[in-house]
Amino acid sequence: MTGWLRIAGLGPGAEGMVTPEVTAALADATDVVGYIPYVARIAPRAGLTLHPSDNRVEAERARHALDMAAAGRRVVVVSSGDPGVFAMASAVFEVAETEPAFHTLDIAVLPGITAMLAAAAAAGAPLGHDFCAINLSDNLKPWSLIERRLRAGVEGDFAMAFYNPRSKARPEGFARVLDLLRDLCGSDRLITFARAVSTPDQSLRTVTLAEATPQMADMRTVVLLGNRATRRAGRWVYTPRGVS
Residue among 141, 188, 207, 213 that touches a second copy (CB under 8 A) = 141
Q: 46: which DSSP letter?
A: T
- How many chain residues are in contact with a second copy, going by CB under 8 A? 77
CB-count exposure of residue 30 (10 Å: 0-12, 13-18, 19+): middle
Can you tell me the distance from the alpha carbon of 23 to that of 230, in angstroms, rounded to the nearest whole number? Answer: 36
Tell me how far, at minimum, the Cβ of 193 lies from a second copy, in Å.
17
Side chain identity, residue 161: A
Residues 147-166 that bind a second copy (CB under 8 A): 148-149, 151-153, 155-158
Tell me how far, at minimum, the Cβ of 195 lies from a second copy, in Å.
17
Residues 75-134 that bind a second copy (CB under 8 A): 82-86, 89-94, 96-97, 100, 102-104, 107-114, 117-118, 120-122, 124-134
Q: How many CB atoms are located within 10 Å of the residue 192 CB?
A: 25
Tell me how far, at minimum, the Cβ of 65 lies from a second copy, in Å.
14
Q: How many CB atoms are located within 10 Å of the residue 17 CB?
A: 19
Tell me how far, at minimum, the Cβ of 217 lies from a second copy, in Å.
18
DSSP 144-195: HHHHHHHHHHHHTT-EEEEES--BTTBTTHHHHHHHHHHHHH-TT-EEEEEE
From 43-51, 167-175, 208-216, 229-237, span contacting a second copy (CB under 8 A): 229-237
Which positions from 66 to 85 touch a second copy by CB under 8 A, shown as an x/- string? ----------------xxxx
Tell me how far, at minimum, the Cβ of 214 lies from a second copy, in Å.
21
DSSP bridge partners of 170: 167
Residue 78 CB partners (closer than 8 Å, separation 6+): 8, 9, 10, 26, 32, 33, 34, 38, 39, 41, 42, 88
- Beta carbon nearer to a second copy, 21 or 218: 21
Residues 2-61 that bind a second copy (CB under 8 A): 11, 14-21, 24, 58
